[in-house]
Structure 1
Amino acid sequence: MMHALRVRSMTNGETIMASAEIGAPPERVFGALVGKEAEQWWGSADTYRMVDWSADLRVGGRWTVVVRTAGGRDLPAGGEFLEIETPRRIVQTWAHGWDHPTLGRRQTRVAWLLEPIADGTRVTICHGGFGGRQEAAAEHAEDWARVLAWLQAHVEAGRLAAA
């Protein structure tokens, strides 16, 4: 049975909290987040698509991503893994490699928490470090809601296809 979309995202202007319930175990969700598989689900035709993803999945390891906008512009970002507890937690720095209109190249910090629940995994994202840039935090809160919906749809569709 497909889950109803259960995604929430909010911000106080400094930190974003977003969460979703996904009908799959934490190991499956973790793999979709950190592997090359992320290129399959992260994005949509009307926003942007992930076109390149690489990650050295260890504390101190770097990660990089390039997304291509619907208009064809390539936008890089990257950072460093600060904490990894497979398959429960990832903490990483995040900075755009281009001049984001509301955030610039400010480095922020993203923490992912994957908690087992009765019918799958609760994914919670805490994204902080916006330094009072409320417009940037609001935009990113909307984006995290989209990202979690894409992740949920991808993982649950794969689970149903495998059943």
Structure 2
Amino acid sequence: MTVQQPAREFLKSEPGLEPVIVEGLFRATPARVFRAFTEPEEVRCWFLPKGGNLVAAEIDLKVGGRWCFVIEKTDEKQIHFEGEYLAIEAPNRLEFSWRHVQEFADGTREATDSSKVTVLFEEAGKATEVKLRHEAIKTEDARRGVGGGWNGCFLRLVEFVVE
């Protein structure tokens, strides 16, 4: 009989509380982990928490530059996350705004209010400690969803960036 190992838990804040705090140790350099967050072809490999790949990822990596990660695209609608870069200090810090958007075929959009994500990449021996803070999320349900989403993404990222 196989004993199932408990899932790794990266979510450090209480589910539903503000801000959402997610932290993890990754067996790679800060530059490697930073690249996983900032290069479209890399983001597409780990960003969805439950497996699979993003439909598309666009990144204009400069302060004021926009990013967009497409989760689902059909003839009727597109679901994606988008925002702008607020601060970039490669390979140690990344800060960006965040919105969840549904865009319909008729051109209408439904978007959440903008929230803010700050990610710190700190060298820890031969590894990198990543500290992510996602704040200004309006509702408890949304914070629960975001926390679970980031936790799932970190589960995939920890395997993706191993050097």
TM-score, scaled relative to structure 2: 0.80
Aligned partner of 1:146 among 149, 152, 161: 152
Aligned to 1:43: 48
- Residue 153 of structure 1 aligns with an amino acid whose one-letter code is E
Tell me, in whole angstroms, the C-alpha distance in 1 between the residues paired with 2:45 and 2:22: 21
- Residue 70 of structure 2 aligns with an amino acid whose one-letter code is V
Q: Does 1:26 align with 2:30?
A: yes
Tell me, in whole angstroms, the C-alpha distance in 1 between the residues paired with 2:33 and 2:87: 17
Shift in alpha-carbon separation, 1:68–1:48, aligned structure 2, 3 A: farther
Tell me, in whole angstroms, the C-alpha distance in 2 between the residues paired with 1:152 and 1:47: 13
Q: Deviations over 1:8-49 (max 9, x none)?
A: 2124622100001000000000111110211122226x5663
**Residue 96 of structure 1 aligns to a residue in which SS?**
strand
Aligned to 1:121: 128
Cα distance, 1:142 vs structure 2: 1.0
Shift in alpha-carbon separation, 1:144–1:26, aligned structure 2, 3 A: same
Alpha carbons 2:78, 2:102 under 8 Å: kept: no
**Residue 8 of structure 1 aligns to a residue in which SS?**
coil
- Residue 135 of structure 1 aligns with an amino acid whose one-letter code is D
Can you give the 5+ residue segments of structure 2 that lack an aligned partner in the other structure? 1-6, 104-110
Q: Deviations over 1:128-160 (max 9, x none)?
A: 0013x111111211111111111111111xx2x
- Residue 136 of structure 1 aligns with an amino acid whose one-letter code is A
Can you give the 5+ residue segments of structure 1 that lack an aligned partner in the other structure? none
Tell me, in whole angstroms, the C-alpha distance in 2 between the residues paired with 1:83 and 1:97: 22
Q: Does 1:137 align with 2:133?
A: no
Aligned partner of 2:69 among 53, 59, 65: 65
Aligned partner of 2:161 among 135, 155, 161: 155
Alpha carbons 1:49, 1:68 under 8 Å: kept: no
**Residue 144 of structure 1 aligns to a residue in which SS?**
helix
Identity %: 26
- Residue 10 of structure 2 aligns with an amino acid whose one-letter code is R
Q: Deviations over 1:46-67 (max 9, x none)?
A: 5663111111111111111101
**Residue 111 of structure 1 aligns to a residue in which SS?**
strand
Q: Deviations over 1:92-139 (max 9, x none)?
A: 00001129xxxx6121101111000023100111000013x1111112
Aligned partner of 1:13 among 7, 11, 17: 17
Tell me, in whole angstroms, the C-alpha distance in 1 between the residues paired with 2:159 and 2:25: 11
